Structure 1
Amino acid sequence: MPNNHRNASRGVRNRNRTLSEETVQIAGMTVTIMRKPIKNMYLRIKPPNAQIVISTPSRMSQAAIARFVTERKSWIEQAQRAMLQARDQQIHEGNNPNDPHSFTWNDATRKRAVQTINAQLPVLLAKWSPIIGREPTHVTLRVMTSRWGSCTPKTGRIRLNLQLGLMDPRFLEYVLVHEMTHLWENGHGEGFQRRMSAYLPQWRQLRRELNRHVVL
């Protein structure tokens, strides 16, 4: 069993490994192509700036990639508009933690965020540790500029973005469950997705809603 687990983890890491990355123009759109040791192509619109990212098998031809993107152009443009509108709405609301033009971290906002998370964390850990079957050795709160959380499975350490303490509580719960799942699964492959669907059936919807927010 231990050998099988290591082999499965290694397989997930290999699938998530980027072999090459390039930015090209396709059908009038700027597209980032990431070649990986995978079997199928995947398209995502990456927040906060609605970047088009294609994950593709390492030997997929440029013509096939261009056709894949062109066939989805109308959907891509619609998804980009929706993401940018949501981002701009947040920016112009003012006085909220996702406004990069007006929001600044200070002692008051840090204290409020820390108090909010610390008040929720024991309850969330007590709820999810038995369900997931693992619990972190340490949970650290910090200001992050590019992600909502991170996990080091080897040490059991989880880091949470302090910004979550200023947002809807369900996002803190989602990120915590996400990172605790990494205590079992290193990457975001089938094993990770299967566990997340068992723990939080609505996790994909929560991820979409969370990613409409700007990480400060």
Structure 2
Amino acid sequence: MTTETQHLRISGVEVEVVRKDIKNLHLGVYPPLGRVRVAVPLVLGDEAVRLAVIDKLGWIKRQRAKFAEQPRQSRREMVSGESHWFLGRRYRLRVREQEGPPRVAVCGIGAIDLVVRPGTDAAQREAILSRWHREQLKGLIPPLLAKWQAALGVQVADWGIKRMKTRWGSCNPAARRVWFNLELAKKPVQCLEYIVAHELTHLLERHHDERFTALLDAHMPQWPQYRDMLNSLPLAHEEWGY
């Protein structure tokens, strides 16, 4: 597909304009910083884009204000007593040093134990916890994929988990490959399921257009609540939408 990307400053707002072979204009504001992106038909000129963005300026500012108010975690030092999130719940980290393989375990409803070898530094501790988050997602995602592949009548060829700085998930419809953001391990399961359904819906409709929204409405009517929940929870210190 032919695409052309440029940046325009419209009424003080930096806008990423992506021209592609589509019929309608699609405007989005993305966390964590309120990046504005508009996808437009190849034939649409700059003036028409400016008018469309100006028409939505009030909505854009409201969305950006929501993101600005969204809580951010400070940089994690990976020490006992810190708050860490898993599946939408806040836990207190308890670091214990002992010989043997490192491990992570949820203890009751309030603590995550991180067992590490003596001398393990903060970066290594964070890597151990991230690997654990990845393993948890690897267990949670397959049944959700099976559920939504059956519901939507689609089939993925491959899927994976990785850190992403600009989105919660991504889909390559041609390759039938989907990716999920590692940060989803920290969010409620309903949010993870929403992203699974969202990405699989892209196998039926590539763009965030009226058909895409109608498909989500039909199969997951509560998706706007899950999206809002996802975008209201604390973000990691790392600056990384939907």
CA separation in 2, counterparts of 1:183 and 1:66? 31
Deviation at 1:152, TM superposition (A): 4.5
Q: Which amino acid aligns with 1:24?
A: L
Q: 2:187 aligns with which of 154, 160, 167?
A: 167
CA separation in 2, counterparts of 1:91 and 1:97? 10
Preserved CA contact (<8 Å) 1:45 1:79:
yes
Q: Which amino acid aligns with 1:110?
A: R
Q: Which amino acid aligns with 2:180?
A: L
Question: TM-score with structure 1 length normalisation?
Answer: 0.68
Deviation at 1:58, TM superposition (A): 3.0
Q: 2:6 aligns with which of 22, 28, 37?
A: 22
In structure 2, the CA distance between the partners of 1:171 and 1:40, relative to structure 1 (3 Å rule), is: same
In structure 2, the partner of 1:78 is 62
In structure 1, the partner of 2:16 is 32
Higher helix share: 1
Q: 2:33 aligns with which of 39, 44, 49?
A: 49
Q: 1:107 aligns with which of 128, 145, 148?
A: 128
CA separation in 2, counterparts of 1:57 and 1:155? 24
What is the CA deviation profile of residues 57-99 of structure 1, one whole-angstrom value per residue up to 9, with x for unaligned ones?
333343333333334333322321221221xx2235974469x
What is the CA deviation profile of residues 129-157 of structure 1, one whole-angstrom value per residue up to 9, with x for unaligned ones?
43223344544333334432334445554
Aligned length: 194
What is the CA deviation profile of residues 13-40 of structure 1, one whole-angstrom value per residue up to 9, with x for unaligned ones?
x5xx53x222222222222222333444
CA separation in 2, counterparts of 1:199 and 1:90? 32
Deviation at 1:50, TM superposition (A): 0.8
Q: Which amino acid aligns with 2:73?
A: I
CA separation in 2, counterparts of 1:152 and 1:63? 31
In structure 2, the partner of 1:9 is none
Deviation at 1:119, TM superposition (A): 4.0
The unaligned stretches of length 5 or more in structure 2 are 77-82, 87-121
Higher strand share: 2
Q: Note if 1:91 corresponds to 2:73.
A: yes
CA separation in 1, counterparts of 2:172 and 2:38? 27
CA separation in 2, counterparts of 1:170 and 1:30? 33
The unaligned stretches of length 5 or more in structure 1 are 1-13
Q: Note if 1:60 corresponds to 2:44.
A: yes
Preserved CA contact (<8 Å) 1:97 1:163:
no
CA separation in 1, counterparts of 2:24 and 2:208? 15
CA separation in 1, counterparts of 2:131 and 2:164? 13
Q: Helix, strand or coil: the match of 1:196?
A: helix
Preserved CA contact (<8 Å) 2:31 2:166:
no
Question: TM-score with structure 2 length normalisation?
Answer: 0.62
Preserved CA contact (<8 Å) 1:24 1:33:
yes
Q: Note if 1:131 corresponds to 2:151.
A: yes
Q: 1:181 aligns with which of 201, 206, 220?
A: 201
Preserved CA contact (<8 Å) 1:139 1:158:
yes
In structure 2, the CA distance between the partners of 1:143 and 1:97, relative to structure 1 (3 Å rule), is: farther
Q: Which amino acid aligns with 1:31?
A: V
Query: Whose Rg is larger?
Result: 2
Q: Note if 1:197 corresponds to 2:179.
A: no
